[in-house]
Structure 1
Amino acid sequence: MKVEPIDSLDSYRLLNGVAVDLRVATPAARQFLADLALRLAQGEGYTELLLRVQRPDSPLYEGQSPLAPAALDLAALRAARDMVYRAGVAEGHIATASTDNVLRMLPTGSRLAGLAGGGGRDGKLTTEPIVTVGEAMEILDITRQAVINAVRAGRIRGEQHGKLWVLAREDVLRYRMARDDRRLARQVG
């Protein structure tokens, strides 16, 4: 994946169409944004990105208190919050009215081929609701490697796109129910 040098991060377009001038941000804040964009592209989960942005010692606040009203107007912070919002929409933490809205909100590089497919189940993962490995870890309460092993064993449908794994939410939930049923059967019998 090609990552632009920090100096080329001059502006960022928010979901509402407003362009944010990042030339006024500190170099540390611009570096943080580049790192955040890379993490988003690599599939880091919404929760992890949100916690990263909300840290009070984040360079995004440029030495201000995160509670200061002026901090909300900082260009780098506005761009970072927008990136986190996009991740939240992509993972289903933030609801939208339709799939078309989700596609418009996702950065172009994050769109999966066929996500807005013509409906119906044709066996392709990308036409169904999806989750990341991080979200599957939370749902199943297992390690990242255990989730990936379940995918490789065929218990959960998933596709790998570079370093990002995309999993079928339905299969993750079905896997959890089957596991819980097995645990219950062991306790009873």
Structure 2
Amino acid sequence: MDYTIRAIRADEWEKTRAIRLDALRDPAAGIAFLDTYEAAVGRPESFWRERAEGSAEESGRARQFVAEAPDGSWVGTATVLVERPSDETRFGAPAKVDQTHVVGVYVRPGARGTGLTERLFQGCVEWSWGLSEPVVRRVRLYVHQDNARAAAFYRRFGFVATGERVPVPGDASTYECEYEIRRPAARA
């Protein structure tokens, strides 16, 4: 099937909510997301509207990409957040350079193994390198220490472990490990 990878629009908050709730019901959600279905399903419409507006194609601080089927259904998503050294840290180590942070990666089970995750990541990384303000020096993400499948994908895509680890909120006995891709010298 031919999927389109594109940024969401601000008015697509209902689809944004639906795919997030589906992701949080996935068996791997406990080690893939720092959120729960129970918490997310109770959030008001205003939360989902703000979330969509903040990561839509019109926004400059974040971008949510989706893999859209010909029938208009969404089968995958990934979000990229701009992080600057002057920003409050959302998760992990504070930014030392202008960077982006990939979060919320999810592909529906029936579409896994089709190359969609690679295409979503390509959209995230290309958008990051294409920013003129700020000029992004690296793209980072975190992966739970027990999420070997995700870590293997990130390495295949070109991310490398930085050695930075942060405790999982609410469970200091487990860690999220940081991976990064540095901006190619030709794009600096």
Q: In which range does the TM-score fall when normalised by the shorter chain?
A: under 0.3
Q: Bigger radius of gyration, 1 or 2?
A: 1
More helix by share: 1
Higher relative contact order (CA 8 A, sep 6+): 2
Higher strand share: 2
Normalization by structure 1: what TM-score?
0.24
